[in-house]
Chains A and B, each alone.
Chain A
Amino acid sequence: MQEARRRVVVTGVGAVTPMASNAEDTWKGILAGRSAVDYTTLFDASTFPTTFSGQVRDEAVVRRFDGDEELSHSGRNVRFALVAAQQAFEDSRLHGDEIDKRRMGVYLGAGEGPGECLKFGQILAETWNGAGVDTAAFIRKALRAFNSLTEIFQEPNVTAGLIARRLALLGPNMTCLTACAASSQALGEAAAIIRRNDADIMMAGGTHSMLHPFGLAGFNLLTALSQRNDAPQRASRPFDKGRDGFVLSEGAAMLVLEELSWAEARGARIYGEFLGYGTTGDAYRVTDMHPEGRSAKSAMRMAIADAGLRPEDVDYINAHGTSTGVNDRVETVAIKEVFGEHAKKLPVSSTKSSIGHLIAAAGAIEAIICLFAIRDSMLPPTINYEEPDAGLDLDYVPNKARKAQIKVALSNSFGFGGQNVSIALGKYPR
């Protein structure tokens, strides 16, 4: 006889976003319909096709580690992550010594560090010989210019190692980087680790800052970003007819996942239950989504099936909703097909309209938003929604938050290359 599956709940959350340096205030800003997008000041982006972003403007968060020797060369991504993880851990009211430290692990969807773009650009310019880079000269100059610790901090896995040591979470430790789906993937895999009894507690989430000259350049070259330079706050407008690309943001979000019976035994406050996880690959093109959202649909179906639910049990979808022409159309088509008649009364909103796209950290903050929506019985709005687009006719919760009972929320995250992840979160007790 098969044993009942171990259930996983969320008992702590933490976040650093462009809206606020914690999860609750981020949520309040989103409910109030505010935009956290503004002109980029982290570096001179004034001549780039896009001059604005979802920059974390609370420099205290970044400076908090200034005296910390070990972190002296760490990037913003690492610092955001440590703040968010510390918040989540404190929020869970775990002390850390009530359980074998090897039963607590870390699974992040974490991006690379920002690196030293200006130095790199300078060396490249100096060693360019008209046809190519003089590699011998490049190596000579780079050895002098680069700092070994700064380079080490660019590795995506450093963050998960630091969190493990600082919070003494010495169980399974992994990092994935499936583009914009990464932290939803991390949550799904972390939950799978608990279900399988390889750990009882997992710190799971994401962190990323591609808000540096080469990151901005990369996305601008793909023409993936909005160029609404005259009105940054109105740039992220998912599902609206006038959408012209996503808004690049930075930040981190962390969730403490915990095995249910253990969490209940210690009297933990429970935000909600992690119900299901779906992951698929488009297997189509690295440049485009599959036009019918083939594997986006199967990811949603897989998450719903994994949760033991039917599509009509889903009360709210936090969409990937990037505000690009293609994503919002394909996602709408996919939702209509998966949910059929139920799609007509199923609220679907994109909180990227308020906080932009946190890339590898996007899924984790959106999971927290889903849990808060369930807790507060409030649907977060899609702001900047002004003009309907042909065929995009779901209930996008336009512009104003509204009351609704939510027992089950689904969060979609789709990434470049055709990474599709969908996770289902539910009210606890149901």
Chain B
Amino acid sequence: MPRRVVVTGIGIVSPLGLKAAAHFEGLVSGKCGIAAITAFEVGDFPVRAAGEVKDFKGNKFLKNRKAIKMMARDIQLSVAAASLAAADAGVYDGAPDPTRFGVSMGAGLIPTELDELAAGAAVSVDGAKQFDLRRFGKEGLANLFPLWLLKYLPNMLNSHVAIEYDAQGPNNCITAGNASGVLAIGEAARVIERDQADLMLAGAAETKIHPLSLVRLYLAGKLSTAADMTERGTRPFGPRRSGLAASEGGAVAVLEEEGHARARGARVYAEIAGFGSSCGGQLVPEVSADACGALEAMRQAIADAGMTAGDVDAVFADASGLPEDEVEARAIADALGAGRAVTATRGALGHMMSAAGAADVCVAAMSIAKGVVPGTLGTDGTGDMPIDVISEARSGEYGAILVNAFSFGGQTSSIILKKHA
């Protein structure tokens, strides 16, 4: 018998709140997480709003609060979500066997905090006020935090989580752009299936609320400047969509081998049923994501789950308000046929990047457990796209939900959760 993997804990910090319940209820009740940027002054930058995690204090989620000085915000969001998930699953004090307890996190590229590097750059200019490497190599370095590099390594998301929860088992960090969250959870399920661990903290965290990240997204043509996105979100799939909103968050699920969960009487949200990943090969931003990659990931996940398309009751789409939403719509229609309830949370949340797919996996597990799927804020129809995007939360019996997450670099990932029986 193959080993089965279930979700026994969930932790989310997002623009809609500092716990999974707030995130879920905010989505179900149609709240918008996008608001004026307050983290720093943006001047005359055309984009005025983003999805900030408000009132977030990373050290409140840490056992070792001193470790906070070693953590870029992405890492803080990671440990916060992991803390909530571990508590929710009843493994806050660690697992019965630490060597069978692992971590798998999705992460993005973490830019340096500007002030930190600028302190070194400012003393490294020559007489003509030009940044000079010869000065940087001496005076510049003397003005930088000695452990600077370690604050920004993507794998610090998983390393700090492993330290906090004494998780000495398999440990991975997926850096596949916005597909990372779903891939990290899918890969964690594989580790449990192949019997190298019984418990995994799996998810992702990322922030794009950073001056350099905003510049990068803007230059790539991804950001919407729509004035009403603070109320209506970024209208995924909608004819008036005009880009995504930068956002941030962390989402972690506790994955557990089914027998292990049963033996310790853990509450089960849902079961991981199937997982697929592919690559459309798309790279240049002007070219839309390749429908083949999206379709292939969904088909693999359905086949892996031993299901047929008709078994999937709802889809959490990757759509975020970009032109490529249409490609996904057609791929969903091709993979699943018409009539499936499709919801897209990136409209209300902004795009939490790596964390977006991980949060959707968590929300899908909660949807199955609670019998309600959130609607898509601000949707104003889908033009001629052949899918049923739900605008309001929809109650019902959800036997299986598929979650998509695709990267800008072409990676596609799909995962299916099903009711645990």
Contact = CB atoms under 8 A, between A and B. Distances in A.
B173 interface: yes
A132 B118 CA distance: 8
Nearest to B221: A148
A311 interface: no
Contact of B278 (A110, A121, A170): A170
A326 B408 CA distance: 39
A29 interface: no
Contacts of B300: 198
A386 interface: no
Nearest first, the 5 closest Cβ-Cβ pairs linking A and B are A136-B43, A165-B281, A218-B149, A417-B159, A281-B171
A198 B101 CA distance: 25
Contact of B183 (A47, A174, A280): A174
A48 B141 contact: yes
B257 to A, nearest CB: 16
Contacts of B239: none
A121 B121 contact: yes
A157 B176 contact: yes
A43 B137 CA distance: 11
Nearest to B179: A157
Given A110-B175, A122-B131, A417-B159, A217 B41 contact: no
A324 B220 CA distance: 41
B133 A286 contact: no
B150 A286 contact: yes
Contacts of A185: 172
A140 B43 contact: yes
Nearest to A302: B196
A219 B131 CA distance: 20
Contacts of B107: 177
Contacts of A132: 114-115, 118
B278 A124 contact: no
A70 B287 CA distance: 12
Contacts of A213: 133, 136-137
Contacts of A176: 172-175
Contacts of B194: 192, 195-196
Contact of B409 (A102, A161, A219, A223): A161
B129 interface: yes
Contact of A102 (B40, B112, B278): B278
Contacts of B279: 105-106, 160-161, 164-165, 169-171, 173
A148 B134 contact: no
A135 B42 contact: yes
Contacts of B33: none
A34 interface: no
Interface in A136-184: 136-140, 142-143, 146-149, 151-152, 154-158, 160-162, 164-165, 169-179
B36 interface: no
Contacts of B112: 214
A127 B118 contact: yes
Interface in B398-415: 407-412
Contacts of A220: 141
Contacts of B284: 70, 149
Contacts of A259: none
A103 B257 CA distance: 28
Contacts of A106: 279
A283 B134 contact: no
Contacts of A280: 99, 168-171
Given A148-B221, A154-B109, A142 B211 contact: yes
Interface of A: 43-49, 70, 102, 105-106, 110, 112, 118, 120-122, 124-128, 132-140, 142-143, 146-149, 151-152, 154-158, 160-162, 164-165, 169-179, 185, 189, 192, 195-196, 198, 213-214, 217-223, 279-287, 294-295, 298, 302, 306, 415-420
30 contacts: A47-B138, A48-B141, A121-B117, A122-B121, A124-B114, A124-B118, A127-B118, A138-B211, A142-B211, A146-B215, A157-B176, A161-B281, A161-B283, A162-B283, A164-B410, A165-B281, A165-B410, A173-B412, A192-B190, A196-B193, A217-B144, A221-B144, A222-B146, A280-B171, A282-B162, A283-B163, A283-B165, A286-B163, A416-B153, A419-B173
A148 B167 contact: no
B166 interface: yes
A430 B171 CA distance: 30
Nearest to A111: B175
Contacts of A47: 133-138
A177 B155 CA distance: 6
B44 A136 contact: yes
Interface string B383-420: 00000000000000000000000011111100000000
Contacts of B304: 198
Nearest to A415: B155
Nearest to B214: A139
A139 B47 CA distance: 11
A155 B109 contact: yes
B296 interface: yes
B60 interface: no
A426 B125 CA distance: 54
Contact of B149 (A120, A134, A221, A420): A221
B278 A178 contact: no
A170 B99 contact: no
Given A136-B44, A148-B285, A417 B155 contact: yes
Contact of A112 (B109, B180, B190, B411): B109
Nearest to A220: B141
A189 B160 CA distance: 22
Contact of A174 (B146, B169, B411): B411
B216 A135 contact: no
B122 interface: yes
A122 B136 CA distance: 11
B285 to A, nearest CB: 7
B367 interface: no
A152 B172 contact: no
A213 B132 CA distance: 11
Contact of B177 (A139, A147, A157, A286): A157
Given A160-B409, A419-B171, A49 B141 contact: yes
B331 to A, nearest CB: 14
Contacts of A128: 118-119, 121-122
B98 interface: yes
B252 interface: no
Nearest to A145: B215
A44 B133 CA distance: 7
B249 interface: no
B207 to A, nearest CB: 15
Contacts of A172: 276-278
